[in-house]
Amino acid sequence: MALPDLDKAVGHSFGLEIDGVQIKQISEVSGLKMEQDVIELKQNTVDGKYVIKKLPGRPKAGEVTLTRGLTDDNSFEKWVKDAHFGKMASARKGGAIIVYDYEGTPLKRYKLTNAWPKSLEIGSLKAGDTSVLTEKLVITYEQMEVE
Domain boundaries, the chain: 14-146
- Across 90-115, b (16+ Cβ under 10 Å) vs e yields ebbbebbbbbbbeeeeeeebbbbeeb
pLDDT confidence band for 62 (50 / 70 / 90): very high
pTM for the full predicted model:
0.78
63/130: higher pLDDT: 63
The predicted structure's pLDDT at residue 20: 76
14-146 placed in CATH 2.40.30: yes
Cα dist from 118 to 20, 42, 63, 64, whole Å: 20, 38, 9, 10
Lowest-confidence pick of 1-5, 20-24, 62-66:
1-5
